[in-house]
Amino acid sequence: MGTALLGLIGPIVGGVAVVLTTYWTTRPKALAEARKFEAEADRTRAETTKILAEIDVRRPSVAPQDTTPKGWSVSGSVPEDYEVGLDLEVFSVGRASAYIRSRHENPAGYAGLVQTIKADDYRGTRLQVTAMVKARDVVGWAGVWMRVDDAHDHTLAFDNMQNPERRIAGSVGWRRYSIALDIPENAAYINFGAVMERTGQIWLDDVRVNVVDDSVPVTDITSRFPRHPVNLDFENGTY
């Protein structure tokens, strides 16, 4: 019986040994493959996020529209939910204004009116964009905006008045709004215009782009970020 039992146990032990040997010899390779797949997944997620961010910021109009003011274009996350055009009856100065309005009661994202110019003549200066804006029943928010990009489409400076203290909302009569950004030496393009999110309508008129001195404060959103981390142990209370 002992011989028979040994005969049965021998192949089992041998099989286990083979499995264990195979496991320990292939485990590093399997882990390496797993890490490789995980790294590729992380890279794919990062690239997808970047693509979505680029689409969100720089997506052009879904189709050329006859109503788009000459020299301007439409951008935004879901521009097809909005209408952009000229208004020959409502204006601040002259004979016309531009407008952005929602096409239905539940628009997604936002839409913007944008003009892009080369930064060559403005490098090293502080540039101010001002515009007359009128709003009617804006449920989300609206604002004048400007973004400075380098040659690789990396954002160098940006402001869109989204801050609660500066945004345009509700119904507001004609009023001049302004933003100002420093134009770095590596700037390639300057984008500016107006933006609106959700329902309502805004009118844009008498846009001005001027170089200003240091007495005009910069409104760059990115300049408000702290240079170093703060309150990492959460011991400094709350706002």
Assess whether pLDDT exceeds 60 at residue 62.
Answer: no
The residues, any chain, with a CB within 8 Å of residue 96's CB and separated by 6 or more, are 86, 87, 88, 205
Mean of per-residue pLDDT scores for the chain: 82
Asked whether residue 77 falls in the same domain as residue 113, the answer is yes
Cα–Cα dist 72/26, whole Å: 61
Q: What's the pLDDT score for residue 66?
A: 65
Record the tokens describing residue 99, joined without a space: 């407008």
User: Could you tell me if residue 238 is inside a domain?
Assistant: no
List all residues 6 or more positions away from 150 whose beta carbon is below 8 Å from its beta carbon. Answer: 156, 184, 186, 187, 188
69, 114 Cβ separation under 8 angstroms = no
What are the pLDDT digits (tens) for 120-160? 999 999 999 999 999 999 999 999 999 999 999 999 999 99
CA dihedral sign of residues 117, 121, 123, 125: negative
Judge if 182 and 86 occupy the same domain: yes
Question: 132 with 207, same domain?
Answer: yes
Q: Answer for the pair 192, 129: CB distance below 8 angstroms, yes or no.
A: yes
Question: Which residues on adjacent β-strands are paired with residue 203?
Answer: 99, 134
Matching residue, tokens 């990492």: 232
| Residue 204 scores a pLDDT above 80 | yes
Banded pLDDT at 221 (limits 50, 70, 90): confident
Q: Is residue 97 part of a domain?
A: yes
pLDDT above 80: residue 15: no
Q: Are residues 117 and 32 in the same domain?
A: no
* Per-residue tokens: 149: 């990009």
Q: Residue 51: which pLDDT band, with cuts at 50, 70 and 90?
A: very low
Amino acid 58: pLDDT: 46
Residue 33: other Cβ atoms inside 10 A:
11
Structurally, how many domains does the chain consist of? 2
The DSSP output letter for 35 is H
Instruction: For residues 108 and 200, state if they share a domain.
Output: yes
Share of the chain above pLDDT 90, in %: 59
User: What's the domain range around 2?
Assistant: 1-58
